[in-house]
Structure 1
Amino acid sequence: MALDRKPNPNDLSAFWMPFTANRQFKKAPRMFVAAEGMHYTTSEGRQVLDGTAGLWCCNAGHCRPKITEAIARQAAELDYAPAFQMGHPIAFELANRIIEIAPKGMEHVFYTNSGSESVETALKLAIAYHRARGEGARTRLIGRERGYHGVNFGGISVGGIVTNRKVFGTLLGGVDHLPHTHLPALNAFTKGQPEHGANLADELERIVALHGAETIAAVIVEPMAGSTGVLLPPKGYLEKLRAITRKHGILLIFDEVITGFGRLGSAFAAQHFGVLPDMMTTAKGLTNGVIPMGAVLTTAEV
């Protein structure tokens, strides 16, 4: 359909931005118009260091020629193919390459469109896994205070960011939360993983006693919290979570949307900390932020 009028690039009224004070922004907009390497360029021509890699997306830097050329080449060859009952060879090749760098034990990939969708998919897979095993009562999901798992209903429900939760009412039922691990009184000025806080994983035993292990499908945590302030897990904490979930037949999900694809030095936080979950959610660095895409990695058992 042809436009009746030429769009005005200075008219900012139509677009609404998430997590932004929109009226203030539109009075004094901050616009990036280009990027290269680790710098953005503003509309005034200033160079701005991208200290957060585009909110943890652009792990390989901006406008890498190999990446932009690959996108153009693929769009010219095949822009879209239906995802049901048919496929494209590169989708299978990519899945194999992801598994090659994933923690040993991760064997399958399920594609999504974002990190938020990866979380929803992992939560659904957890419930479906137990139902397939004849454990249909396992529908309860356990998150963690201060946790961030995207902005869909499931992710907000298991997440623990209060300002994200309070607007939307009851969200999903059957959700409980572990305590967060931020203990500044005990761990101030710690280098590396904090010494104190592994005992907080034992709160999962209290939740199991309250609801019954036979009702709990999965526990989801960020192996290293990001949106709440970059919190390293206390020494032994993830190991305890893994042991308790395995003891009670509960699936453990690592949300690696931020930590995946080299953010901690290793390809994934699961490798960095030496703890293998049952599922991992990914996005962001998977495509260097250039297209909306995520993936859920699972073990062969799941």
Structure 2
Amino acid sequence: MDAYWMPFTANRQFKKAPRLLAKAKDMHFWTPEGRQILDGIAGLWCVNAGHARPKIVKAIAEQAAELDYAPPFNMAHPKAFELAERLVQLTPAGLDKVFFTNSGSESVDTALKMAIAYHRARGEGTRTRLIGRERGYHGVNFGGISVGGIVGNRKTFGPALGGIDHIRHTHDLARNAYSRGVPAHGAELADDLERLVALHDASTIAAVIVEPVAGSTGVLLPPQGYLERLRAICDKHGILLIFDEVITGFGRLGAPFGATHFGVTPDLMTVAKGISNGCVPMGAVFCKRAIHDVFMTGPEHLIEFAHGYTYSA
């Protein structure tokens, strides 16, 4: 047990009294001693369909036996294309291109790079600034902690990426403590983006990234009209809007995605977790066809987007 350095864990305390999970089925875990535990948060908000689903187990075993790995650079395998086509049937209209990753953190970094590269491909190379939100969580890669607003994830690692700013969070306890459903107050908090436009100029801002429903900071629902207002401000200034749906995607809100539930379509959308029911490390970025097509210019033999991972797709 001593060799394993665990993530997001007080390792010394844990190893004095380990909390081990030995097996899982449906909504429950079992300890090595046989004690049953309700999985109240679906793993890490990723086992959306329950544990040890026979169809999923069978699919993983059959795929490993048929083709365990194929390189995703300049080669591919048929199921990557099949999955992409099936996924875009779930997304809001217009989000019909898929770039595969291995995790939510990688999806966020991919979307941020895609946004900057998109503007550059359009001749707007000054648009490099990225805007996150206070209390936002976007994984713990350098891109994610830079645009994220969780203090504990940022303070240990120095300044992280440059050219980052944050709009205000939406937690307004004084006015929304007893709201039924979506908070009634706070749509005007989206106007904080206008403050940053005035400070930095819109011509320097590439994208804004938010979670439709903030997760790791305490599950904060967006105020009524907030996402619509943020969408309108981004459109006004030519800024891309990114929804981080790593947690909210694939049914967590009762609809396929938060974008579907709230009726607001981003330009880019990051997903992971529920995309594979937590069974294999996988993520993706959905983007609008218009963004994808900007990259599809120039000589056909050149790589349009120099980015990817060993296990993409």
What's the offset of the Cα at 1:104? 1.1
1:85 & 1:157 partners in 2: Cα distance?
31
- Paired amino acid for 2:129: R
Return the alpha-carbon distance in structure 2 between the equivalents of residues 59 and 136 of structure 1. 40
Kindly state the Cα deviation for residue 36 of structure 1 after the two structures are TM-superposed. Answer: 0.1
| Counterpart residue number, 1:3 | none
Give the counterpart of 2:270 among 265, 268, 281. Answer: 281
Matched, 1:223 2:212: yes
Secondary structure (helix, strand or coil) at the match of 1:96 reads helix
- SS of equivalent to 1:35: strand
Unaligned runs of 5+ in 2: 292-313
| Residue 187 of structure 1, aligned match among 158, 176, 191 | 176
Following superposition, the deviation at residue 44 of structure 1 comes to: 1.7
Q: Distance in 2 between matches of 1:147 and 1:130?
A: 24
* 1:154 and 2:143 are equivalent in the alignment: yes
Alignment partner of 2:187 out of 195, 198, 219? 198
Cα distance in 2 for partners of 1:80, 1:203 equals: 46
Matching residue of 1:105: 94
Distance 1:301 1:124 in 2: 16
Identity of aligned residues (%): 73
Q: Which residue of 2 aligns with 1:89?
A: 78
Counterpart code for 2:119: H
- Whether 1:266 aligns to 2:259 is no
Query: What is the deviation of 1:189?
Result: 1.9
Match of 1:252 in 2: 241
Which secondary structure does the structure 1 equivalent of 2:71 belong to? coil
Please point out which of 40, 48, 58 is paired with 1:51: 40
Shift of 1:55: 1.4
After TM superposition, the structure 1 stretch with the greater mean CA deviation from structure 2, 154-163 or 82-91, is 82-91
SS at match of 1:137: coil
Residue matched to 1:72: 61
Describe the SS at the equivalent of 1:127.
Answer: helix
SS at match of 1:271: helix
Structure 1 segments (4+ residues) deviating >6 Å: none
- Secondary structure in structure 1 of the residue aligned to 2:156: helix
**Aligned mates of 1:97, 1:28 — CA distance in 2:** 44
SS of the residue corresponding to residue 65 of structure 2 reads: helix
Aligned equivalents of 1:23 and 1:39: distance in 2? 27
Tell me the SS of whatever aligns to 2:287: strand
How far off its partner does 1:279 sit?
A: 0.4
* 2:114 counterpart of 1:125: yes
2:309 maps to none
User: 2:263 corresponds to which letter in structure 1?
Assistant: G
* Distance (whole Å) between structure 2 residues aligned to residue 178 and residue 47 of structure 1: 43
Of 22, 27, 38 in structure 2, the residue corresponding to residue 38 of structure 1 is 27
In the other structure, the counterpart of 1:163 is: 152
Q: Deviations over 1:212-271 (max 9, x none)?
A: 000000000000000000110000000000000010000000000000000000000000
1:77: how far off?
0.3
The whole-number CA distance in structure 2 between the counterparts of 1:231 and 1:55 is 17
Give the aligned partner of residue 298 of structure 2.
none
Deviations 1:125-145 (A, max 9, x none): 000000000000000000000
Q: Using structure 1 for the length normalisation, give the TM-score.
A: 0.96
Aligned length: 291
